[in-house]
């Protein structure tokens, strides 16, 4: 499928091929499992604040519809491309299936730099994208959520635009909304808290003590910052953090509350004086027990995989490790990898809870949400760990295998029409 050609899509396909070979998925089932069901690309003309008109490009990819509606985030980033979105949709499929959620995977994105757009421009862009997507989405068809560069406000504009079209409020059209608009308690923190929970389980598994462990977090956004605070709560010392402007290092630990305040004031961690500025590349190679890439794809590559110095690699971002880096990590059994489709699954699990609450108009307490979240994550962690040990395969192969096989089973049972 040439339309999807992109380094990240090739990476997702390569991972799928490894899983299909290992679990001997028959040739005539592979293309059906691998390629997206459908995709849509739209031109988004909007009025800019200076009076000019600018046209942005938006995409949405629905990977498979076998297990239920599709579900996945919406990303605003200058590098958004159809192939990247398709790869992220494919990973969402395996992630939802691994967690046992009744969804296929989807992803969307607009190629733009949200930090360079005003609130009014962002609102017009979001509303226009939603309007263009109306024939393609629905609360029983395809449900969006925040991802890089988008947030609760983005979801509220989407819900409002869709609801204006239908003539009544449809909270189930998106998840990750503000709680006052039908969002779920705990959704904003769910991905990062899930990352924290799984790191704690991994520390337990390999015998690390939180109080003697150091963490480094790449990307101090929604996921990375909440994961960092969760780790600090367990007693882990966070010694390195970064955002798109660069990294910070303090061997004695970074004061996260002060850093958070600095970011709230400056919208960036640049200029924070209580840590030493370092590059994002160097940050990944810092000595630590826990390394959490929580920003972009393809950060751990064949160039730096041999140099990372952690004991746990917790993939909070989607696709942070390339297949070439995986080959190197497979030769480094001292590193325990929590693969992305498991590590960051907390977000889509609580999105699923939010969707269920919206459909029923019956809302749960934060304790109920968190209890249910940790129960699902625990089940998925044990399933992946046991499969990895039993089959003597990497945690990634075990996680992807669990997800892909559930979708394969679904397709087999439903059959092929006509």
Residues known to be catalytic? 107
Q: Per rule CB under 6 A, is residue 296 in the interface with ligand NAD?
A: yes
Q: Which of 191, 213, 357, 408 binds ligand NAD (CB under 6 A)?
A: 191
Query: How many angstroms separate the CA atoms of 401 and 381, rounded?
Result: 13
Report, in Å, the least distance between residue 125 CB and ligand NAD.
16
222 binds ligand NAD (CB under 6 A): yes
**Binding of residue 344 to ligand NAD (CB under 6 A):** yes
Residues 6+ apart with CB under 8 A from 258: 272, 274
Decide: 164 and 156 in contact? Cβ < 8 Å: no
Between 95 and 408, name the residue whose CB sits nearer to ligand NAD.
Answer: 95
Distance CA(328)–CA(257), nearest Å, equals 36
Should residue 91 be labelled a site residue for ligand NAD when binding is judged by CB under 6 A?
A: no
d(CA 148, CA 186): 18
Backbone angles phi, psi at 161, to 5 degrees: -60, -45
Q: How far is the CB of 418 from ligand NAD (least distance, A)?
A: 37
Is 219 a residue that touches ligand NAD (CB under 6 A)? yes
Q: How far is CA 5 from the centre of its chain?
A: 21
Token pair belonging to 358: 């919206």
- Which of 10/32 has CB closer to ligand NAD? 10
Cβ distance to ligand NAD smaller for residue 191 or 213: 191
Any contact of residue 61 with ligand NAD (CB under 6 A)?
no
Count of residues near ligand NAD by CB under 6 A = 24
Binding ligand NAD (rule: CB under 6 A), the pick from 121, 142, 160, 243 is 243
Asked if residue 295 binds ligand NAD (CB under 6 A), the reply is yes
Residues 262-291 within binding reach of ligand NAD (CB under 6 A)? 280
Query: Considering only residues 347, 402, 403, 410, which one is a binding residue for ligand NAD as defined by CB under 6 A?
Result: 347
**CB of 130 or CB of 318, closer to ligand NAD:** 318
Q: Is 242 in the site for ligand NAD (CB under 6 A)?
A: yes
CB closer to ligand NAD out of 25 and 199: 199
105 binds ligand NAD (CB under 6 A): no
Q: Are 162 and 298 in contact (CB under 8 A)?
A: no
DSSP letter string over 348-376? HHHHHHHHHHHHHT----HHHHHHHHHHH
CB 42 within 8 A of CB 58: yes
Sequence-distant (≥ 6) Cβ neighbours of residue 387 within 8 angstroms: 393, 398, 401, 402
- Part in contact with ligand NAD (CB under 6 A); list of ranges 36-44, 221-229, 251-259, 331-339: 221-229
Which residue's CB is nearer to ligand NAD, number 42 or number 244?
A: 244
Report, in Å, the least distance between residue 55 CB and ligand NAD.
23
The token duo for 267 is: 């919208």
Q: Measuring CA to CA, how many Å separate 290 from each of 196, 239, 333?
A: 11, 10, 15
Q: Residue 218 forms beta bridges with which residues?
A: 242, 293
DSSP summary character for residue 174: B
Please list every residue from 131 through 170 that binds ligand NAD, using CB under 6 A: 146-149
244: contact with ligand NAD by CB under 6 A: yes
**Residue 220 binding ligand NAD, by CB under 6 A:** yes
Q: Is 92 an interacting residue with respect to ligand NAD (CB under 6 A)?
A: no
- What is the chain's percent helix, strand, coil content, to nearest 5? 50, 20, 30
Does residue 294 touch ligand NAD according to CB under 6 A?
yes
Q: Are 400 and 13 in contact (CB under 8 A)?
A: no
Nearer to ligand NAD, 173 or 259 (CB): 259
Closest by Cα among 36, 26, 14, 107 to 400: 14
Interface with ligand NAD includes 218 (CB under 6 A)?
yes
Query: From the CA atom positions of the chain, what is the Rg in Å?
Result: 20
Q: Which residues bind ligand NAD (CB under 6 A)?
A: 146-149, 191, 218-224, 242-244, 280, 294-296, 316-318, 344, 347
């Amino acid at each position: 499928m040439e339309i999807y050609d992109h380094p990240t899509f090739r990476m997702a396909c390569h991972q799928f091929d490894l899983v299909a070979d290992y679990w001997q998925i028959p040739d005539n089932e592979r293309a059906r499992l691998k390629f997206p069901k459908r995709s849509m690309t739209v031109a988004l003309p909007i009025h800019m604040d200076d009076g000019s008109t600018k046209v942005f490009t938006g995409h949405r990819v629905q990977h498979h519809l076998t297990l239920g509606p599709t579900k996945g985030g919406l990303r605003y980033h200058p590098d958004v491309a159809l192939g990247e979105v398709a790869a992220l949709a494919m990973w969402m499929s395996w992630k939802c299936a691994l967690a046992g959620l009744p969804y296929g995977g989807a992803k969307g994105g607009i190629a733009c730099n949200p930090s360079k757009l005003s609130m009014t421009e962002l609102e017009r862009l979001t509303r226009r994208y939603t309007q263009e997507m109306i024939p393609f989405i629905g609360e029983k068809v395809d449900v969006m959520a925040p991802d890089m560069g988008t947030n609760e406000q983005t979801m509220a504009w989407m819900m409002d635009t869709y609801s204006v079209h239908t003539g009544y409020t449809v909270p189930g059209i998106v998840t990750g909304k503000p709680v006052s608009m039908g969002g779920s308690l705990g959704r904003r923190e769910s991905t990062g808290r899930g990352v924290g929970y799984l790191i704690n389980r991994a520390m337990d598994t390999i015998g690390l003590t939180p109080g003697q462990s150091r963490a480094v977090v790449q990307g101090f956004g929604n996921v990375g910052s909440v994961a960092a605070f969760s780790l600090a709560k367990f007693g882990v010392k966070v010694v390195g953090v970064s955002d798109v402007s660069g990294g910070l290092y303090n061997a004695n630990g970074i004061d996260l509350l002060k850093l958070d305040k600095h970011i709230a004031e400056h919208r960036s961690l640049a200029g924070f004086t209580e840590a030493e500025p370092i590059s994002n590349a160097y940050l990944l190679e810092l000595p630590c027990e826990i390394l959490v890439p929580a920003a972009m794809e393809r950060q751990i590559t064949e160039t730096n995989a041999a140099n990372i110095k952690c004991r746990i690699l917790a993939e909070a971002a989607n696709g942070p490790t390339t297949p070439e880096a995986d080959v190197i990590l497979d030769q480094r059994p001292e590193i325990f990898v929590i693969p992305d489709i498991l590590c960051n699954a907390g977000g889509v699990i609580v999105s699923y809870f939010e969707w269920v609450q919206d459909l029923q108009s019956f809302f749960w307490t934060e304790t109920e949400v968190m209890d249910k979240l940790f129960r699902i994550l625990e089940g998925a962690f044990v399933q992946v760990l046991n499969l990895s040990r039993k089959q003597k395969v990497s945690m990634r192969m075990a996680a992807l295998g669990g997800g892909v096989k559930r979708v394969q089973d679904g397709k087999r049972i439903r059959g092929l029409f006509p």
